[in-house]
Amino acid sequence: MKSFIVVYLAFVGCIFYYLNQDKALQESMDRGSEIYADFCVTCHLEKGEGVEATFPPLAKSDYLMNNRKESIKGVKYGQRGPMTVNGKKYDNTMMPMGLEDEEVADVMNYIMNSWGNSGAKMVTVEEVSNILK
């Protein structure tokens, strides 16, 4: 009976953690959606499709999903130079937007979970603050 109670409490704790994390991610994505509309939509467009040969797509982006640290760094500090996204080469400059670490985390959570992207783990403020130039 004691082992049942322990297993039951562990199960309930896991469910609570999962539901709470899901809520935090959704709240972050909601804030990130507003940041995206203010800072990113001009170049990467409304559905994250980007502009051919100029601004890389964020939708279904292999670069975004496979280069988490570099993607966060690009949003936080800007990005310059060549990159390959979904098999196509881009070589442009993204100026730093002046976002706070929480805003970077929020917009990253939004783009990593939109338009066919599925982020494995929520981007946190602590993770963003640990990214250095």
Reported confidence tier of residue 120, pLDDT bands at 50, 70, 90: confident
Q: Which tens digits make up the pLDDT trace of 50-109?
A: 999 999 999 999 999 999 999 999 999 999 999 999 999 999 999 999 999 999 999 999
In whole angstroms, give the CA distance from residue 56 to residue 85. 7
Strand partners, 81: 92
> Is the pLDDT assigned to residue 45 strictly greater than 80?
yes
Q: Enumerate domains of the chain plus CATH numbers.
A: 2-129 (1.10.760.10)
Cβ atoms within 10 A of the Cβ of 1, count?
5
Q: Which tens digits make up the pLDDT trace of 5-40?
A: 655 555 555 455 455 558 999 999 999 999 999 999
